A and B are shown apart, each in its own frame.
Chain A
């Protein structure tokens, strides 16, 4: 178990000769407390896999330092960091049985055979693999193989953290939730630090206690799933989390108040906050409602998604999405929408302002 800290870490892959380096990871300073369940969430190319590989030691950062329990490990090779990693596609030793696969990391470290047997049995039981220990590893399905990969990480008792690099990619869609819940269950049982990289917000939000949202090589926001949902600090976070994502609409200032479509909007921000620059409002589709007064719109599309309906409305040239309950009626005569003021966010140059700007 260990507290992992990144200090001013930056990483650029070696550029072709004569060109300036391009930073895959820009200025990351972050602490991962031990025992935490973290998710690194972001689109392809945002640097999350680079960050993960720096933690595990498979990549040495071009700048900055990494500390485990306040001990400098930047130059320590992977084997010395006591890290386990589960990759995108299952990595199993095909010629060995499931038992031998799970025993491999222990045997490599010289653990006595009796203890190996105990430990493998324990872990196999946790992962529901007990009845397949004598089978050849190559004969299992994709999710079975991923469990073996996971098991090889769990079986070691000295493991500091388990890292997951989009582990559910090859799993059958209707089996994904099983493995997902299993991971969460394991985390609650064992309490080892788990860091999970994904581009799927559902995976990230359901697994992690703290989600690190990354964009373009940098960390945009760190918070609990609820915080990220209710208080997105950056328009990217609002857009990326939530399905559909947050509506981001341009607004302008009138008499010191933000105005959208000739509707002054109330929002609790201190009156002396600087509101120059590109101004936008962010409001999640869940918090847009039809009402008798409000902004006049035209209805573009209604999608019935079972649980709720997604209504796409338009005001002049701006498109706004809203979530309407399953059996709620959608007004046909000159519909008007209202924004819930408690969940309205103002963004200046993509960063949130106001009382929420903490």
Chain B
């Protein structure tokens, strides 16, 4: 199902939850809504599903205007963060419920239920009740119920957030495969940038009720249109600083400078902003040297996450290997200036690639 949002907005009382948005999703795509907790992901999903009526704008599905058509009459399935299953039904009955509602014959229901239970590794648990299952198994039941419906639009609202770390990794691996064969349009909400990268597909970055950017995941990551998009799509947070450009040189401070790409050099002199991803700021290496005061260094097995104050900016360095520091220790860091993302006064990206 292709979904199109035309100037869709949502206002509840005095608050605007979603500002006028245009979004176009192609059938069979895996789409990710990435944003922090209150950025509007859930509201947007509810609008797409038909659970909420937009305050203004139209919703089109497969070339037909479906604005205002309630969710019962649309081909939609939804999976939530809390494992939502019918508590008094067995796993079998849970998965079978949408099919029973649709009035399918018994043997067809049986065949479908068993197929999807097998796909989600639930076959040994078909007779159990949801409260006898672990969190991961409950969520798989919810997923099976969403899949078996064969809906054209499947919405997943942070479905893995309540699961153990490792379980999350495993399910995340399996999800795109599960949906790939169904041909459904999938919309997956998450607040973790890493999850978006792992799932691939297309991503829409959301911030405070607005869709900031939409496109292929790796493109959005590597070429964020704006500083907001870069900020949303980064964990640990992207390193931001103001620079002054004079001619072909950028000055972070009087003692730290580097030459800028040709495209930027041609632009008027003045104040700009740079964005630098944490893994491009390293304790060892080559490039621009900056001195900073280390606030804290977190070591995790093989990686170090170092929080350092550089020229008054709170920056993060993500480096391979173990780097230990004392509180408040002064240290030198390096970054390759070619890795900098440059943003103009309106915080929009200046395309500097050749």
Q: Do chains A and B touch in the complex (CB under 8 A)?
A: yes
Find out whether the CB atom of A181 lies under 8 angstroms from the CB atom of B301: no
Q: Which residue of A lies closest to B167 (CB)?
A: A43
Find chain B residues with CB under 8 A from A45 CB: 134
Find chain B residues with CB under 8 A from A57 CB: none
Find out whether the CB atom of B36 lies under 8 angstroms from the CB atom of A44: no
Q: Check if B68 is an interface residue, CB within 8 A of chain A.
A: no
Q: Check if B135 is an interface residue, CB within 8 A of chain A.
A: yes
Q: Check if A244 is an interface residue, CB within 8 A of chain B.
A: yes
Find out whether the CB atom of B300 lies under 8 angstroms from the CB atom of A202: yes
Cα distance A229–B277 when bound, in Å? Answer: 25
Cα distance A240–B235 when bound, in Å? Answer: 21
Find out whether the CB atom of A242 lies under 8 angstroms from the CB atom of B302: yes
Find out whether the CB atom of A304 lies under 8 angstroms from the CB atom of B197: yes
Interface string of A164-207 (1 = CB under 8 A from B): 00000000111001001100110010000000000111100111
Cα distance A303–B197 when bound, in Å? Answer: 7
Among candidates A172, A199, A286, residue contacting B165 with C-beta atoms closer than 8 Å: A199
Q: Check if B164 is an interface residue, CB within 8 A of chain A.
A: yes
Q: Which residue of B lies closest to A41 (CB)?
A: B165
Counting chain A residues whose Cβ lies within 8 A of the other chain, the interface size class is 35 or more
Q: Which residue of B lies closest to A305 (CB)?
A: B197
Cα distance A280–B44 when bound, in Å? Answer: 48
Find chain B residues with CB under 8 A from A286 CB: 302
Find chain A residues with CB under 8 A from B277 CB: 306-307
Find out whether the CB atom of A181 lies under 8 angstroms from the CB atom of B197: no
Q: How far is the CB of B286 from chain A (nearest CB, A)?
A: 15
Find chain B residues with CB under 8 A from A305 CB: 194, 197-198
Q: Check if A266 is an interface residue, CB within 8 A of chain B.
A: no
Interface locus among B86-94, B111-119, B267-275, B291-299:
B291-299
Q: Check if B46 is an interface residue, CB within 8 A of chain A.
A: no
Find out whether the CB atom of B166 lies under 8 angstroms from the CB atom of A43: yes
Find out whether the CB atom of A201 lies under 8 angstroms from the CB atom of B164: no
Cα distance A260–B165 when bound, in Å? Answer: 30
Q: Check if A241 is an interface residue, CB within 8 A of chain B.
A: yes
Among candidates B37, B198, B236, B298, residue contacting A303 with C-beta atoms closer than 8 Å: B198
Given contacts A43-B166, A303-B200, A306-B221, contact A181 B302 (CB under 8 A): no
Among candidates A177, A184, A226, A239, residue contacting B301 with C-beta atoms closer than 8 Å: A226
Find chain A residues with CB under 8 A from B149 CB: none
Find chain B residues with CB under 8 A from A185 CB: 296, 327
Q: Check if B279 is an interface residue, CB within 8 A of chain A.
A: yes
Interface string of B166-193 (1 = CB under 8 A from A): 1101000000000000000000000110
Find out whether the CB atom of A177 lies under 8 angstroms from the CB atom of B236: yes
Q: How far is the CB of B318 from chain A (nearest CB, A)?
A: 7
Cα distance A240–B36 when bound, in Å? Answer: 27
Cα distance A43–B299 when bound, in Å? Answer: 21
Find out whether the CB atom of B191 lies under 8 angstroms from the CB atom of A173: yes
Find chain A residues with CB under 8 A from B322 CB: 226
Q: Which residue of A lies closest to B162 (CB)?
A: A169
Find out whether the CB atom of B295 lies under 8 angstroms from the CB atom of A44: no
Cα distance A172–B192 when bound, in Å? Answer: 11
Cα distance A245–B197 when bound, in Å? Answer: 18
Cα distance A326–B279 when bound, in Å? Answer: 10
Interface string of A226-242 (1 = CB under 8 A from B): 10111000000001111
Q: Which residue of A lies closest to B235 (CB)?
A: A174
Interface residues of B in 107-145 (CB under 8 A from A): 134-135
Find chain A residues with CB under 8 A from B218 CB: 304
Q: Check if B41 is an interface residue, CB within 8 A of chain A.
A: no
17 further interface pairs, Cβ-Cβ under 8 Å (given A44-B134, A180-B298) = A43-B167, A45-B134, A173-B191, A174-B237, A188-B327, A199-B166, A202-B300, A205-B301, A225-B301, A226-B299, A229-B302, A239-B166, A243-B169, A303-B200, A304-B197, A306-B221, A326-B279
| Chain B residues with a Cβ under 8 A of chain A | 36-37, 134-135, 164-167, 169, 191-192, 194, 197-198, 200, 218, 221, 235-237, 277, 279, 295-296, 298-302, 305, 307, 318, 322, 327
| Chain A residues with a Cβ under 8 A of chain B | 43-45, 172-174, 177, 180-181, 184-185, 188, 199-202, 205-207, 225-226, 228-230, 239-245, 286, 303-307, 310, 326
Q: List 17 A-B contacts (CB under 8 A).
A: A43-B166, A43-B167, A172-B37, A174-B36, A180-B298, A200-B165, A201-B165, A202-B300, A205-B299, A205-B301, A207-B298, A239-B166, A242-B302, A243-B169, A307-B277, A307-B279, A307-B318
List of 5 A-B pairs having minimum Cβ-Cβ separation, nearest first: A229-B301, A206-B298, A205-B300, A307-B279, A199-B164
